[in-house]
Amino acid sequence: MRTLATTGRNVSSAGTAVAVVLALPSISVLAVFALLMALAPTPAAAGMTTQTAGELSLVVGYSDGNDWVGALPGSQRSAAGFEHFAKFSTDRGDIVTTNLQLRASYDSCAPSDEAWALEVHNAWLEYRLGLGKKLRIGHFSPAHGLEPVRDTHGTLAQTLVGMDLGFKKDWGIGYSGIAGPLDLEVALQLGSGMAPAPDDGSYLASAQVWTPPGRDSRFGVSIVRGDLRKATQARTLPLPDYAEESVEISRAALSVEHSAGAFMVLAEASAGVDDSSTVGGALFQVDYSPPSNQRWLFAWQVRVWDSDLARGGFSTVTGIAAAGYKVTDRLTVRAALTELARDCDHAEAQATIQLYYYGG
């Protein structure tokens, strides 16, 4: 555990580009990303294709502990925004891809002057280096667990990373490529989550390998090292409040995807150290889409996490039974029953309904 300094200090790295980005006061990361977007190839220099989709998520729930609530614990809240893709290419293929996804959200559980927020989810620029190699800069998922390959942005059933790291995406620079028969991804990020926190030396380094896609079973292994700043709100602007002390973490994780006909089985387990405490948890999920009507998707999930494994038991256990129906290609209605238990002596049940629109 490290008390945060009141003045910024630089973060060293092996690569000059990484050092420049991460050594800047973190709010400047947004400006650096905007500059890179501006420097990307223009239509005069390369072919360009774009796609923009609007997003609307309306969430309402009822909890036996908090009456009416406007969010599922740890995941969705009512929000509206958009996602914009752009690809720049030559006759030899794509050169640069950009993705900007942001939304304005409303948290009915927050005080009225803090209920509205701007959330930046994806905000990255990716250079294709050839032979399957890519360099990415901006806001994207750490190379850890199921989230980079599942992307649970709009779903009610989330992956383990929210309990594990405390956020799903972070600002920084990453590389992906092929290591023999394996898919490889590494990232060096700020360690502050949705908002680029003031520079104080925090960081998050992650690396993950996956067996190739296209098989019934796929396995991933990741390792993480970092000094994280924990935010109390999931937002980019206004800047969230941060804990006074950062947390030094290390993790090792195993992730599994297995397809069996109409079923998809997902599992992940992560364990490591937060400061001097041994922590860990796991997720098991089964998805089912009836072959006779694939507009339906059912999911059953259990997530467990403990912030001190030495004492025994799990500090948080979450069980979810969810169903979704695709009304049109753009509109989906989802419902979930969630049972959340903390420290084995407090349980809260919640029913949630989500109306989710995504499309051009």
Task: List, for residues 335-359, the tens digit of each pLDDT value.
Answer: 999 998 877 667 889 999 999 999 9
Q: Both tokens of residue 172?
A: 């920084």
Percent of the chain with pLDDT over 70: 85
Which residues 6+ apart lie within 8 Å of 123 measured at CB?
Answer: 33, 99, 100, 101, 102, 138, 139
Looking at the predicted structure, is the pLDDT value of residue 145 above 60? yes
Mean pLDDT of 272-280: 95
According to the model, what pLDDT value does residue 325 have? 98
138 phi-psi bin (left φ>0, alpha ψ -120 to 50, beta other): left
* 15-359 fold: Porin (2.40.160)
Looking at the predicted structure, is the pLDDT value of residue 16 above 90? no
According to the model, what pLDDT value does residue 14 have? 32
Highest mean pLDDT among 25-34, 74-83, 216-225, 237-246: 216-225
| The model's pTM | 0.87
Mean pLDDT of 292-303: 97
According to the model, what pLDDT value does residue 343 have? 73
According to the model, what pLDDT value does residue 233 have? 86
- Each residue's pLDDT tens digit, 194-231: 998 766 789 999 999 999 998 999 999 999 999 999 88
State the pLDDT confidence band at 8, using cuts at 50, 70 and 90: very low
Mean pLDDT of 286-300: 98
Looking at the predicted structure, is the pLDDT value of residue 281 above 90? yes
State the pLDDT confidence band at 35, using cuts at 50, 70 and 90: low
Report the residue count for the chain.
360
pLDDT top residue among 328 and 27: 328
| Beta strand 203-210 pairing with 182-189 | antiparallel
- Each residue's pLDDT tens digit, 79-118: 999 999 999 998 878 899 999 999 999 877 777 778 899 9
Q: Both tokens of residue 109?
A: 């559980």
User: Could you tell me where the beta strands, DSSP code E, fall in 214-307?
Assistant: 217-228, 245-260, 263-274, 277-288, 296-306
* H or E element, residue 39: helix 28-39
- The number of beta carbons lying within 10 Å of the beta carbon of residue 12 is 11
According to the model, what pLDDT value does residue 142 have? 98
According to the model, what pLDDT value does residue 315 have? 83
Q: Both tokens of residue 119?
A: 């959330």
The single-letter code of the amino acid at 158 is Q
In angstroms, the CA 169 to CA 191 distance is 9
According to the model, what pLDDT value does residue 25 have? 43
Domain boundaries, the chain: 15-359
According to the model, what pLDDT value does residue 244 have? 84
Report the mean per-residue pLDDT for the chain: 86
Mean pLDDT of 174-190: 96
